[in-house]
Structure formats: C-alpha cells, structure tokens
C-alpha cells in the first residue's frame, strides 16, 4: 500500500506563492507518478496537473505558466510550486497515485487566496 501526505498550504494574498509537498511512503516504486487535484466549494476534486513516471508534467489550462510539478526522488516527495496565486485557486489540494491495487489519496492541504 501507499501512503500520501500533503503539506505546505496556507493563507496568502493574490499574487503570492506557495509550494505544496506530497510525501509518499509505504510500498512504492520510484519515480512515482502523481496527480494533483483541488476540491473547491462544490466538494468535487478537479484535476490540476500531474507528473508521469518518466517525468513529463502537464497542467490544467488555468494554471499553466503559474504552477510547476517536480520531484525529489530521494525523498519520495512530489512538489507543486504555485506562483501568482489567484482567488480561484482556493481549495483543498490533494495528491493521488493509481496503480493495479487501487488508487491512493492524501488527506489534503488547504490553500486559501484572499482578495
């Protein structure tokens, strides 16, 4: 099984930056493919971006050019660098990993961007 734990959220003003971390533990194979999701007021998790095992990252259109996903394989940690934050980026951010035995989610970390 895989355990995921997000951290790094906080309360910021528009234009500021945050770096979220997704720490993976358990029985894992690195490099780890991870997707980031955001749960907004509608309580649905919307895809934000992801990184493949090969290191290719992709992003939802609204965050392209502002968010960057990276990995530190030695620490089994995936990062989401969030620059130029906007109020619409507000939500609980989750990392997700899927494999043959199921999908794994972290508990989320809250990002609040005030106006």
| Two structure tokens written together for 39 | 């749960």
Residues in the chain: 115
Residue 100 has pLDDT above 90, yes or no: no
Residue 115 has pLDDT above 90, yes or no: no
Instruction: Report the alpha-carbon distance of residue 72 to residue 92 in Å, rounded.
Output: 22
Q: Phi and psi (nearest 5°) for 25? A: -145, 175
Tens of pLDDT, residue by residue over 45-93, are 999 999 999 999 999 999 999 999 999 999 999 999 999 999 999 999 9
Q: Is 44 exposed, middle or buried (0-12, 13-18, 19+ CB in 10 A)?
A: exposed
pLDDT of residue 101: 87
Which residue, among 23, 37, 9, 7, has the nearest Cα to 73 in the 3D structure?
A: 23
Tens of pLDDT, residue by residue over 12-57, are 999 999 999 999 999 988 899 999 999 998 899 999 999 999 999 9
CA 83, 89, 91, 93 dihedral sign is: negative
DSSP state letter for 30:
S
pLDDT of residue 22: 98
């Amino acid at each position: 099984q895989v355990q995921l734990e997000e951290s790094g959220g906080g309360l910021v003003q528009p234009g500021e930056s945050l770096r979220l971390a997704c720490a993976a533990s358990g029985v894992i194979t690195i490099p780890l493919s991870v997707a980031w999701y955001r749960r907004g007021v509608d309580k649905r998790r919307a895809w934000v971006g992801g990184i493949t095992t090969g290191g290719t990252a992709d992003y939802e259109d609204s965050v392209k050019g502002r968010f960057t996903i990276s990995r530190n394989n030695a620490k089994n940690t995936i990062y989401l660098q969030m620059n130029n934050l906007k109020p619409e980026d507000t939500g609980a951010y989750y990392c997700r990993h899927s494999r043959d035995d199921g999908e794994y989610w972290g508990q989320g970390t809250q990002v609040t961007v005030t106006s």
